[in-house]
Amino acid sequence: MLSQPRNGDAADLQEAAEEEEVLKLEEEIEKMAQKVLEYRTTLPDQLTSNLSSLLAFQRPVLPTHLIDEVAEPETRTPPGPDSEAGVSQGPARENMGLSATDGPEEAEKIRLLKQKISSNACALPVILNRMKEYMARIDKLESSSGIIHPAFKRKRNS
């Protein structure tokens, strides 16, 4: 009869240890749930900010000489006739005569043009990836043994 209480004490100790372990695991689960909730609230904002900064970094720098000319036409000096910039900027020299009174319409057109150019530049990586995928698909179709209508075959010059 002495052995039964000892087995009961051992079972109670084992149950107590299991309960402590269960409590620790429940605490860990609660901490993990809090972390998951925190990540769910902060991660989308971080991803959007990272994506926007990445896209802004990849966006090419647009020349701002048109805005400078509209804002400060009298302070800008045209490049010398023998300089390389003077040779390559023929149309830009004609724009040097813009005054601030030429206006809001031209400034709006310039702003819209810059906006379109930047949006097109941002879309270039996506378009290039699509082109690569389509080229791979076309090459895959060419290598297949299926019958392709002659109208869709490329003429190869050798």
Domain spans of the chain, in order of start: 1-58
Instruction: State pTM to two decimals.
Output: 0.30
For residue 94, pLDDT over 60 is answered with no
Which pLDDT band, with edges at 50, 70 and 90, does 50 fall under?
confident
Q: Which two tokens stand for residue 97?
A: 């005569």
User: In this structure, what are the phi and psi dihedrals at residue 101, rounded to the nearest 5 degrees?
Assistant: -85, -10
Q: Where does the pLDDT of residue 27 fall: very low under 50, low under 70, confident under 90, or very high at 90 and above?
A: very high
pLDDT at residue 17, rounded to an integer:
92
The candidate with the shortest Cα–Cα distance to 71, out of 103, 118, 116, is: 103
Average pLDDT for residues 65-94, to the nearest whole number? 49
Higher pLDDT pick, 11 / 4: 11
Are 153 and 144 a contacting pair, CB within 8 Å? no
Mean pLDDT of 134-142: 83
Nearest residue to 142 via CA among 126, 154, 125: 154
Mean pLDDT along residues 126-133: 91
pLDDT at 68: 55
Q: How far apart are CA 126 and CA 96, in angstroms?
A: 37
